[in-house]
Amino acid sequence: MAATDGTRRAGHRAAADAAQTGAAVDGPDAPDPDSAGVRGFLQVSPEVADALREGRPVVALESTLISHGFPYPENVAIARDSEAAVRAEGAVPATIAIRDGRLRIGLTPHEVESLATAPGVAKVARPTLAAALAGGGWGATTVSATMIAARAAGIRVFATGGIGGVHRGALVGPGATSGSLDISADLDELARTPVVVVSAGPKLILDVALTVEALETRGVPLVTIGSDEVPGFWARRSGVRSPIVAATTEDAARIAATHLRLALGTGMLICAPVPAADEVPRERIEAIVEQATAEALSGGIHGAALTPWLLARIAELTAGTSVRANEALIRNNARTAARIAARLGS
């Protein structure tokens, strides 16, 4: 039986109090017991804490797009647009970042500006979370670190741009040699942290089919809104069939609510295709990705340098249309996540 509104609000109040104090809390809306240590590092903004305590919808937003996704001042503009899109749907945005040894849940406009202009900000994922907290200064949370912080704070919905996945050649390299094993930590985080993640799908620089298979193996539901194919970030379609299709955002929210009530321990990935007016058609972007990938291979670009190089080269080859698609899908994902959060009751 679903929780009553009163029971749910009581659970949210307990979760919010626990997030601020680090105390344990029981119940279906409680942060994961495994998050008890993380809660000791949280610093929740008054606005977010009040919303959680009152059972109002909250949407987590990552901070890597501020520090690494766009140059200044475009990074500040897209961060503000994302928060505005969440607010327009009646939810409270909680941009998450690390500063001075604390996981900050909700940034002020001044803090967003400070992060956007800070030099040498590290990208923080689960493997580097402890080092970032111990090191002080600013750290920008990726998908995995944002999910960890959101769960610890009691936030159930998180909006990002694209999701990481299995890179091309990760399993078998050129000439049937051993692969690079370059597989995003996002996938394992979705398998272990029960947060609903809204994205525009995997970037087409990845192996989308293997990414979908990896999520299925890990027990992570992948739901696409309004399409029978998984979106390919810049493109509305990837050529890979979606395991689950929701006709509307409301249908996706119902699936998400049921998944969270089942308490299976896994997250859920909801894919919202980029708005049609802003997409780069699949045929065009695939040809450009193939060209950029070949150039990277011939130039010896690999490892951590590969993805940022590919994204920059793709932006050049598309004359900036890939960047405009990226901006549009980030706003759309924030809006979609807020609608889902409202349907979940928080």
Q: Which active-site residues does the annotation give?
A: 62, 203
Handedness of CA 215, 219, 223, 227 (dihedral sign): positive
- Please tell me the distance from the alpha carbon of residue 273 to that of residue 202, in angstroms, as a whole number: 11
Tell me the C-alpha to C-alpha distance, in Å, between residue 343 and each of 102, 250, 337: 30, 7, 10
Q: What is the 3-state secondary structure (H, E, C) of the chain?
A: CCCCHHHHHHHHHHHHHHHHHCCCCCCCCCCCHHHHHHHCCEEECHHHHHHHHHCCCEEEECCHHHHHHCCCCHHHHHHHHHHHHHHHCCCEEEEEEEECCEEEECCCHHHHHHHHHCCCCEEECHHHHHHHHHHCCEEEECHHHHHHHHHHHCCCEEECCCECCEECCCCECHHHCECCCCECHHHHHHHHCCCEEEECCECCCECHHHHHHHHHHCCCCEEEECCCECCECCECCCCCECCEEECCHHHHHHHHHHHHHHCCCCCEEEECCCCHHHCCCHHHHHHHHHHHHHHHHHCCCCHHHHHHHHHHHHHHHCCCHHHHHHHHHHHHHHHHHHHHHHHHCC
